[in-house]
Structure 1
Amino acid sequence: MGEHQLAESRKGQAMTIASILRTKGGEVVTVPASMPVQGVVALLHEHRIGAVLVVEGDDPVGIVSERDVVKCLHEKGVAILDAAVHAIMTSPIVTASGVESIAEAMEIMTARRIRHLPVVERGRLVGIVSIGDLVKRRIEDAEHEAGLLKEYISAS
């Protein structure tokens, strides 16, 4: 396989949301809509994550991020910690599919001013990606491409 074909092959695989989930895994922390906000805060801290999905059964119905918690604490005070998470969740949620490109996902997240994007395939939640996941992959791909170009130039 030539250098160009190798780069095109990797680019086709590496530039989708599904490729990130293959590396990162599909684990998603979910909570019921009735969970107290205080419980969500504990989960965000415990799992070192920035958002949790709110589900009813297996269906995602909302998302709660650190930003949502801080906004509600500022607007409503500490009493919000005892409220059910459905009171502060963002709904409806914006989702993507695994076949979408990283660039498309970044465009969605930038336009909507969101940092977490649940990934749904055939109506089933398969993972979640953050803006950090997308940026990391873009950097990795740029470094890989630069390495291939260096090899190509030195081989000439």
Structure 2
Amino acid sequence: MKTVQQILNTKPIQVFSVTPATSVLDALQIMTDKNISALLIMTEDSLVGIFTERDYARKIVLQGKSSKDTAISDVMTASPITVTPSDSIELCMQIMTDKHIRHLPIAEGEKVAGMVSIGDVVKFIIADQKQTISQLESYINS
């Protein structure tokens, strides 16, 4: 069974986060600078929320709020669903599909260990399938 840890091993461990008091505008600037589409919201070492481009579109743009004057805590998704490094990739896919989410924070106890996106999961699955096909072709041709 393939695990979340295997995805984490293929990507740099960089977790970008802001505090709940951060303005939406400042969070968007970080997201732009880092070329990411989701930020974790942390209070010290505790995960309290996640903010995504989808949150921005639905909770700021469509509601006519000001990015400069709105705190991220007002529009973040509180208590996000998390997975552990030992959880299966299939579980990640199931959660993302069922909950219509594109990012999953990875937590070990109270500590955030990283985050995976739907793109990370799909990329890993495709690479794994290519390897399986290659092994089967080698076996058949032997």
TM range (shorter): over 0.9
C-alpha contact 1:73 1:80 (8 A) present in aligned 2: yes
Bigger helix fraction: 1
Q: CA RMSD in A?
A: 1.1
Of structures 1 and 2, the larger Rg is shown by 1
CA–CA distance in structure 1, aligned partners of residues 5 and 19 of structure 2: 26
C-alpha contact 2:60 2:75 (8 A) present in aligned 1: no
1:11-26 map, 5 Å? 12=1, 15-26=2-13
- 3-state secondary structure, aligned to 1:26: coil
TM-score under structure 1 length normalisation: 0.87
CA–CA distance in structure 1, aligned partners of residues 22 and 109 of structure 2: 27
1:78: how far off?
4.8
CA–CA distance in structure 2, aligned partners of residues 152 and 28 of structure 1: 41
Task: From 128, 132, 139, give the equivalent of 1:145.
Answer: 132
Residue-pair matches, total: 142
Task: From 31, 40, 61, give the equivalent of 1:53.
Answer: 40
CA–CA distance in structure 1, aligned partners of residues 62 and 78 of structure 2: 19
Q: Which runs of 5+ in 2 are unaligned?
A: none
1:23: how far off?
1.2
TM-score under structure 2 length normalisation: 0.95
Aligned counterpart, 1:67: 54
